[in-house]
Every structure is written in structure tokens, then in C-alpha cells.
Chains A and B, each alone.
Chain A
Amino acid sequence: MEEQVVAVRVPIEAWPRRGDWKGRVTRVLRKDGDVVKEGEEIAEVEIEKAVLVIEAPVGGRITFRVSEGDEVGPETVIAEIHPPRG
């Protein structure tokens, strides 16, 4: 059976039709391989006007695709979460 992976992205939903903003990852709150719970804060992205708190949409084992200091924009993949099988 193929393993399910959920990508966690910088939410374009923040300002849906204004996709031209940029930010920087200021905090990565867990380590690769950690098991996170649904809704848990996993990272922060600071844009000029605010700090976007990135939360895990599902629970599971996490692998980050960005590091603190990286520039990101809407839809950038922050991490991947592997939910438990079954």
C-alpha cells in the first residue's frame, strides 16, 4: 500500500487573491522525525505585516522542507507529514 503524505504549505488562503507576498521562516518548532498532533504549531513565517502561525493539518511523523531563515511565499511547502497507517 502506498504511504500517504500530507504537504503542509504556506497558506495562500491568508489573502486569497493576493498571492504576491513573501515572508521568511523565523521559527521551526519541531525536529525532523518528530510525531506531531493535528493542530499543533510547527513553524512561524514572518511577513512584514504579521506572523503566520503554521499548524499541522493532520497528526503524524514530520519532515521539514524548509529551515529557519528561508524565504517563502504562498503555497511553499513547509513540511511533509506521514500520518500513521491504518
Chain B
Amino acid sequence: METLKPRIRVRAGRDYHRVKDMLSRRYPVATVCEEALCPNIWECWNEGTATFMLLGDTCTRNCRFCYVKTGSPGGLVDWGEPMKVANAVREMKLDYVTITSVTRDDLPDGGAGIFAETVRLIKKHSPQTLVEVLTPDFDARRDLLETVIGAGVDVYGHNIETVRRLTPMVRDRRFSYERSLRTLQLAKEISPNLVTKSSIILGMGEEWDEIIEAMRDLRSVEVDILVLGQYLRPSHRQLPVAKLYKPSEFKELERKGIELGFAYVVSTPLARTSYKAKQAYFAALSQRQAPRQGAGA
């Protein structure tokens, strides 16, 4: 039977090996590329880039779509991690980097301090590098968001992941749809010029109208960049795929997103939050400066 899953040719080029050696030997930090079995890893690593994952590889929350290990890290933090990431960014000569993390409910600050230190060190050692963070919800605490944003973040991302109705079934119960929206709203309140970003994973049982509602909700808190991608089940332990969307449906949602006022929409089956992040950032910036005329332009 023909499958609609992405076909991956495993070809390790020179840049791929350079990224791999750097991240596994010289500056060992986790990447979401590996931990989430991202199907885009070949494209990104062969282009010499990766998405760093702070605070170890074990998440305290257990979302039903996610392949990242779950458990209790017992309050342990590697304070050498920010320097490892900063060194890797400098050696990889990245002009744009995305930093994400597992959720760490076992830490009093949820890991905000590590995020901030990482951003500061990247900015110190690679002043030209733009930094995008993709954070947990930090329980929508203003002080924690201020800590991260104040370190010099260029793009603040937090994912709502799914539509309102499915949130309690799909995400860990400690997440809430409203709190995620509030987190994004706070980011904008703290720094009105900050570019904000959120993703919805499609194919977990949502209805079309619910997707549009979620998009409207994200615009109501002034999110700039929307990412829509197809859910691909990482293993039998995660939720089954409820629907595979057609490329034409992704296109339609992209058009709708632009109509709703997002500065930029990344909407393709293999889109993930950090996929083409630099391109999305610059497109969003130029869009802000020269707003589109009319819908669907």
C-alpha cells in the first residue's frame, strides 16, 4: 500500500557530520531534531543548523503526541549547558538559532534562568546571531517571561499545539489552552515589538472550524508567525494519526492565516516550529513594515 509518510534518504554530507560531531562530542547538548525523531533532520543538519534542546532530554510532562522522554529529572540542571550551546552556535557560525527545552516543573523557575543565560551567552559570543526561543508555558508567570525576554530574545515562541477541545486529551493536563494563549499575550505585553510565534499540529482529530478558531485565538493575542504541520506518529505509544491533510488544505489554511492577519504562515505537511525559522522571521519583519493589501495576497 502506498504510504503518505515522508521518504527520507539518509545521506550524511560533510556538514551533517560536522554538526553531529560537535553536538555529540565537543559540546554535548540535546537537539529536538533527534529527541523528536524530526523527519527534517537531514535537510537541517546538512545545511549546518540544528535546534538545541535545553535542560536535558527528559520532560516532566507527558503530551500524547510527543516522543521526547518523560520522567523526573530530580531538579538537576547542567549550568554548563548555556556555554556549550553558545560555543556550538559560534563554531557553527549560525546567524539564526532556535533554542527550545523540555518542560521542567521540578525547577522553581521552570528553567527560565537557563534560557536567559543561554541567550545572553549566544549574544555575547555571536553578537550578530538572531535567537528564537520556543519555551514551555512557564505557568504564564510574567516574572519568568521577563527573565527570558530580557536576555535579548528576537523571537518568542510557545506552541498551543492543538485546538481548544482536544487540548486536555492531547497535551499533558498541566497545560491549558488558555494559559498558552496567556503566555503568548504576556510576551507581547512585555515587549510589544517582539516577534511571537506558535504552532498547531494537524491530524489529531480536530475539525476544520476548530483550526480556524485556534488561529483567531492566536491572532487575538497578536501572534505574528503561525506554523501548521502534519502530525506524524513517532511510535505506537503516541496517538494515532486521525487525518492526513492534503497539500491543498495546507495552502487553504495558509491563505486563511494571512487573511486573519498573521505576518507570516508556514503551512506544509513537514513544517515544524523551527523549520525555515529564519525565513519566517525576515518575512514577518518585512510584512510588518509593509502590510499586505487585502486578504489572501
Contacts and interface: CB of A to CB of B under 8 A. Distances in A.
Contacts of B10: 11, 13-14, 52-55
A18 B233 CA distance: 16
**Which applies to chain B's interface (DSSP): helix, strand, loop or mixed?**
loop
Interface residues of B, number: 27
Interface residues of A, number: 21
A15 B8 contact: no
A51 B7 contact: yes
A18 B37 contact: yes
B8 A16 contact: no
A85 interface: no
Contact of A50 (B12, B35, B39, B238): B39
Contacts of A13: 10, 12, 16, 20
Interface in A29-57: 44, 46-55
A8 B22 CA distance: 26
B30 to A, nearest CB: 8
Contacts of B30: 17
B68 to A, nearest CB: 10
Given A15-B33, A15-B37, A51 B6 contact: yes
B233 A49 contact: yes
A21 B39 CA distance: 13
B287 interface: no
A3 to B, nearest CB: 26
Given A15-B37, A16-B24, A53 B7 contact: yes
Interface string B1-20: 00101111111100010001
Interface of B: 3, 5-12, 16, 20, 24, 30, 33-35, 37-39, 41-42, 232-236, 238
